[in-house]
Amino acid sequence: MRMQSTALRQIPIAVVNSPKSEFLSHSAAALFQTCPRKYQHRYKDRLASAETSINLGFGGAMDEGASAYIVGHALGHYIDPVPIFEEAFEQFCATHIVAYSTKFQNKEEVLAVGRLLLHRFEAKWKQLGYVALLDPQGKPLVQVELKVTLPGNTVFTAIIDVIVMTPDGRVLIVDVKTPSQASSHQFSELSDQLTGYQLVVESHKDRLGIDHLDGLAFLELIKRPIPKSGRGTGPEVLDPVICSVRTKSKLEDFVQSRVWMVDDIRRERFPTRSLDAYNTPCDDTCEFLRLCTTGSKEGLVVRPPRKRETPNEQRVLELA
């Protein structure tokens, strides 16, 4: 039985002068939930570590490779994702001071894992029988940036990895991830990221050329090191974790949570949030740890101002 998605009425955006637009994405919201002070440092003060995590570069390069393959597949021709991944990752390494990890200590190890994961991703994509849907102009719905204006002039933005048709005719939003370990089905059912993706997609259904959604999914490419002994699991591509579309009530809860969050941001409520020792964000992985504990900005740089947003790319949201 087809699961009907929540109906959303779509109207063109009106320019709102007050309050000033506040821009929010899933990653920004997740950071605010983790620690409001860290959000302030990164998004308001525009501070960042002079070093960039290998995970960020790896994830971005894998996105480029996998997306190119999915686009070619949808249009009926083969695009090898590996050279695209390699070029993107080499460019990342050439333009950033890279912070490697205990799992991945050099560029060659990372490249080997990426190549193997993409080969396995190709095999999994063919096995699943997914095909990226095309928009009304015939362009595959891959890496689509969408914006929607929530109450209070909050602009929520998301980049959708791919919207697919399954062999049995279901329409799914699929987010391709490169985590270190698998997530659970329960997490997918509760994921704010997938909820936000459904919200923006349903707000732009006419532009995208779709009339319904049947599910939301994470497709996880687990970035484990390649075992040196030949033993162990190593990198693997898991079957997608598919969950149901969100109800109207869950979408309303999501929207309200973002409105409250932006109210805190506008009022400059940025307390530190250490939590407890076993789950604290205040550890050595936090680039602002020294700033919060000693006031020193050593090792930090100021990022350039964000680009101005284009109002006509947005939609005002009204839950029907």
DSSP 69-109: HHHHHHHTS---HHHHHHHHHHHHHHHSEEE--SS--SHHH
Cα 213 to Cα 133: distance, rounded to the nearest angstrom: 12
- Bridge partners of 217? 174, 242
Question: Is residue 120 in a domain?
Answer: yes
pLDDT tens for each residue of 64-107: 999 999 999 999 999 999 999 999 999 999 999 999 988 888 99
pTM: 0.89
Number of domains in the chain: 1
Pairing of strands 51-53, 97-99: parallel
The answer to whether residue 260 is domain-embedded is: yes
Average pLDDT, the chain: 90
Q: Is residue 17 domain-resident?
A: no
Look up the domain containing 55 and give its range. 22-306
Do the domain assignments include residue 1? no
Write out pLDDT tens, residues 215-256.
Answer: 999 999 999 999 887 677 899 999 998 999 999 999 999 999
Is 53 among the domain residues? yes
146 within domain boundaries: yes
pLDDT in tens, the chain (320 residues): 344 444 444 433 333 344 788 999 999 999 999 999 999 999 999 999 999 999 999 999 999 999 999 999 999 999 999 999 999 999 999 999 999 988 888 999 999 999 999 999 999 999 999 999 999 999 999 999 999 999 999 999 999 999 999 999 999 999 999 999 999 999 999 999 999 999 999 999 999 999 999 999 999 999 999 988 767 789 999 999 899 999 999 999 999 999 999 999 999 999 999 999 999 999 988 999 999 999 999 999 999 987 765 544 566 665 55
Q: Is residue 2 one of the residues assigned to a domain? A: no
